[in-house]
Structure 1
Amino acid sequence: MSAPSHTTSYYAASANDKALRPALNEHINADVCIIGAGYTGMSSALHLAEQGFKVVVLEGSRIGFGASGRNGGQIVHSYSRDIDFIEKHYGKDTGREMGKMAFEGGKIIRRFVEQYNINCDLKNGGIFAACNTKQLQDMQDKKALWEAHGHTQLEMLSADSIQQYIGSGRYEGGLLDKSGGHFHPLNLVLGEAAAVESLGGVIYENSEVTNVEEGTKAKIHTRNGSVTADFVIVAGNAYLGGLIPKLEQKAMPCGTQVITTAPLTAAQQKELLPQDNCVEDCNYLLDYFRLSGDGRLIYGGGVTYGAREPDKIESLIVPNMLKTFPQLKGVKVDYAWTGNFLLTLMRLPQFGRIGSNIYYAQGYSGHGVTSSHLAGKVLSDAIKGQAERYDVFASLPQYPFPGGRTFRIPYTAMGAWYYTLRDKLGI
């Protein structure tokens, strides 16, 4: 059997660590077995290893193979549904408690990078760019909402002032989050993996889990080995497959596409993003972009429901890039790839437990970079017996998509079409 490999992305080509960890070929014991070596898995493993737990991580492919190694690399706070939505639908107490955690994921990332000297091109500053006046008003409301929950590093940008940050005439203004930022996502998770290993944790790649056997001590089986553990954390998210059918019914994989240009000149970089901030627009099916550490433009967007592989990623993304930056016409695209994220019906993450000792977190619905790092802290605290914050997430209802597997894709695509039309009309 050939060794697994990453997708053909810019991130994989520029990864700091290309070494393949061994596969699990024996029967071992651990305090905690984590399924999946992405952000949720690595954050959980690192928080637990810091507390002295014996941790084993099983990855079916490579560390960061899924969304954690393919995403736009942006620190974007809160959840896919913001705190006001949570308050309205689940009560002020739940909204208040989730609001306390809404800005923690980014702080966890920064702590990991600083404490473990992770080289991932971390830079400060992120912008929500408004394409119309309604979206600009929404950003005013977001600023007030976040400030009410203690997040104050925010500044409104007018149509004129946003030109100091984005060399495009596309935007009516926006919201600058000075505590946002961007980084090389695969190098972040690889650095976190190295930190786990430095604390005694063990990571096995090419070790797809075939069965999870419930019990007072759970037994997690791979093709050629097993782990017997007091606790399990299921962190496969959109790449879990059918391992846990109960989880598969609650969420739907969706694909997003990313391209990376050839290196730009210093003058081009200064023209496009003068302050080197990352950007995402405010559309329902949003575009996001930033400069890489070596001066390329990374531009992503689009959604394929059901995680279908697009025939030609460039044909989906390049027109959007040129709409934002027409001055890049003719620029060479060096890399193009797709990756899956996991969408839930309510667009809120799903935390829960199967039996007494199998925990899971999934379905960040496009806000996984920070939410997954928070999830690792919350899950590790629950395993240590401090479950108050875990209980807040676990109390959120987890609905299956209507129509089951057959109709959830067309239903969701119809909803996306409706919101895209609203974006275009500015209503």
Structure 2
Amino acid sequence: MANTPYPQSYYAASANAVPPRPVLQGEVETDVCVIGAGYTGLSSALFLLENGFRVTVLEAAKVGFGASGRNGGQIVNSYSRDIDVIERSVGPKQAQLLGDMAFEGGKIIRERVAKYQIQCDLKDGGVFAALNSKHMGHLESQKRLWERYGHTQLELLDERRIREVVACDNYVGGLLDMSGGHIHPLNLALGEAAAVESLGGTIYEHSAAVRIERGANPVVHTAEGKVRAKFIIVAGNAYLGNLVPELAAKSMPCGTQVITTAPLGDELARTLLPQDYCVEDCNYLLDYYRLTSDKRLIFGGGVVYGARDPANIEAIIRPKMLKAFPQLKDVKIDYAWTGNFLLTLSRLPQVGRLGDNIYYSQGCSGHGVTYTHLAGKVLAEALRGQAERFDAFADLPHYPFPGGQMLRTPFAALGAWYYGLRDKFGM
């Protein structure tokens, strides 16, 4: 990915200025080599540096190039499959550990923003919006579930209350999570990268890992150099490619699409989202949206299985936006882009170790902003010899997609079609 620019997104256009970073040339030695400068890699690097490790980060393109710099920017708690699903599939001790961690990622983000003075437009408050009574019943159960794990910053919204927080007539109610919220995701990644460097870590951009030489003293090779390390953390997620074949077999890159309007002005923006909360609906194939600091609406949704780039993103997403906000029919779309996330069959993250010294976390399944920050802490704990929380994730069962890599995309798309029909008919 030599000299690979950021996609033409709103985030790239409004990113904070950063100095150029070098390409790895020659040989370096370090304690930990982190592959990938997205949230997982940067979070891991920060926790390790804070605990005295020497850390080198290899990024194939630029910091935050992948999902970390392209996502909807929403801080959403828990996992893509909620704690009740985990409770039904694992033992009580493991479920308790995972449940206790489900709300930690958002706290880590806020701690990082405060400690390192990261300018990323952090705002508090996220809404889950119910389109029908079934959705509302789910949110009532979710509130009880989350409160059982000590998460109490929640308010159920009836039809009157949700009209006070979002100017959309489609919703029958919702759930407000004040520990949720939203950020400029690329600026968060850039701020975390600067924090890594402030602690003595090194980040090489345009330095894709092309081969891992495994063994007691592993070596990560790039086109022009190599890193000798005691440990490796693989944090490439949907942009890892086939660098580690055993990881690629149990996951599938998927694309999601995002558009950003022209500036709406203070009055119209305040009419749409008076408290400046972010919103996602409760459909399986959900829509999500929020305001930017300069009063644009960012709206995303849809999934392209196999991570193909659609020919016309605006044509896919604009009708979804107008269904929620018909009052925006004459508003211009300034940016449209796509980005990949990594899906697992269970929709739970895959965490583990290859041999004695290669650690990984991947497969956030569209729920990664908070989880990746937690993952960095859990991986750093494991490298320090505190593996209980790491093992709670590593022991989750995972399976390859039916049909292998050849058929995983059509099988997943067929499943999405089925759930899309359920969404359409409120089933």
Instruction: Report the AA paired with residue 149 of structure 2.
Output: H
Instruction: Report the AA paired with residue 254 of structure 1.
Output: C
Structure 2: state its 5+ residue gaps: none
The answer for the alignment partner of 2:166 in structure 1 is: 166
Residue 115 of structure 2 is aligned to residue 112 of structure 1: no
1:86–1:265 CA distance, 2 compared to 1 (3 A): same
Instruction: Report the AA paired with residue 80 of structure 2.
Output: S
Separation (CA, whole Å) in 1 of partners of 2:424 and 2:173: 16
Instruction: Report the AA paired with residue 188 of structure 1.
Output: L
The answer for the alignment partner of 1:15 in structure 2 is: 15
Aligned residues, how many? Answer: 427
The answer for the alignment partner of 1:48 in structure 2 is: 48
Residue 259 of structure 2 is aligned to residue 259 of structure 1: yes
The answer for the alignment partner of 1:189 in structure 2 is: 189
Moved more, 308-317 or 18-27: 18-27
Instruction: Report the AA paired with residue 190 of structure 2.
Output: L
The answer for the alignment partner of 2:229 in structure 1 is: 229
Q: CA deviation at 1:342?
A: 0.2
Once the two structures are superposed, the pairs formed by residues 226-305 of structure 1 within 5 Å of their partners are 226-305=226-305
Question: Is the contact between residue 20 and residue 62 of structure 1 (CA under 8 Å) also seen in structure 2?
Answer: no
Separation (CA, whole Å) in 1 of partners of 2:54 and 2:199: 9
Separation (CA, whole Å) in 1 of partners of 2:265 and 2:101: 40
- Per-residue deviation, residues 304-354 of structure 1 (Å, max 9, x unmatched): 000010010000000000000000001011100000000000000000111
Give secondary structure in 2 for the equivalent of 1:119.
coil
Residue 72 of structure 2 is aligned to residue 72 of structure 1: yes
The answer for the alignment partner of 1:384 in structure 2 is: 384
The answer for the alignment partner of 1:203 in structure 2 is: 203
Question: Is the contact between residue 278 and residue 290 of structure 1 (CA under 8 Å) also seen in structure 2?
Answer: yes
Moved over 2 A (4+): 17-20
Give secondary structure in 2 for the equivalent of 1:209.
coil
Separation (CA, whole Å) in 1 of partners of 2:55 and 2:309: 34
Q: CA deviation at 1:293?
A: 0.9
Q: CA deviation at 1:2?
A: 5.9
Give secondary structure in 2 for the equivalent of 1:203.
strand
The answer for the alignment partner of 2:57 in structure 1 is: 57
Separation (CA, whole Å) in 2 of partners of 1:259 and 1:247: 31
Question: Is the contact between residue 26 and residue 226 of structure 2 (CA under 8 Å) also seen in structure 1?
Answer: yes
TM-score w.r.t. structure 1 length? Answer: 0.99
Give secondary structure in 2 for the equivalent of 1:62.
coil
Separation (CA, whole Å) in 2 of partners of 1:411 and 1:23: 40
Give secondary structure in 1 for the equivalent of 2:163.
helix
Separation (CA, whole Å) in 1 of partners of 2:17 and 2:30: 26
TM-score w.r.t. structure 2 length? Answer: 0.99
Separation (CA, whole Å) in 2 of partners of 1:183 and 1:399: 33
Separation (CA, whole Å) in 2 of partners of 1:419 and 1:94: 29
Separation (CA, whole Å) in 2 of partners of 1:298 and 1:276: 12
Separation (CA, whole Å) in 1 of partners of 2:310 and 2:3: 25
Instruction: Report the AA paired with residue 331 of structure 1.
Output: V
RMSD: 0.9
Separation (CA, whole Å) in 1 of partners of 2:318 and 2:69: 21
Residue 135 of structure 2 is aligned to residue 135 of structure 1: yes
Residue 343 of structure 2 is aligned to residue 343 of structure 1: yes
Give secondary structure in 2 for the equivalent of 1:320.
helix
Q: CA deviation at 1:17?
A: 2.6
- Per-residue deviation, residues 237-291 of structure 1 (Å, max 9, x unmatched): 0000111111000100000000000111111011110100000000001000000
Once the two structures are superposed, the pairs formed by residues 388-399 of structure 1 within 5 Å of their partners are 388-399=388-399
- Per-residue deviation, residues 38-66 of structure 1 (Å, max 9, x unmatched): 00000000000111111000000000000
The answer for the alignment partner of 1:367 in structure 2 is: 367
The answer for the alignment partner of 2:4 in structure 1 is: 4
The answer for the alignment partner of 2:26 in structure 1 is: 26
Separation (CA, whole Å) in 1 of partners of 2:223 and 2:161: 57
Separation (CA, whole Å) in 1 of partners of 2:60 and 2:21: 11
Question: Is the contact between residue 2 and residue 206 of structure 2 (CA under 8 Å) also seen in structure 1?
Answer: no
Give secondary structure in 2 for the equivalent of 1:60.
coil
Q: CA deviation at 1:366?
A: 0.7
- Per-residue deviation, residues 68-127 of structure 1 (Å, max 9, x unmatched): 000000100000000000011123222111001000000000000000000000000000
Question: Is the contact between residue 128 and residue 279 of structure 2 (CA under 8 Å) also seen in structure 1?
Answer: yes
Question: Is the contact between residue 87 and residue 93 of structure 1 (CA under 8 Å) also seen in structure 2?
Answer: no
Question: Is the contact between residue 67 and residue 340 of structure 1 (CA under 8 Å) also seen in structure 2?
Answer: yes
Separation (CA, whole Å) in 1 of partners of 2:424 and 2:133: 12
Separation (CA, whole Å) in 1 of partners of 2:311 and 2:132: 31
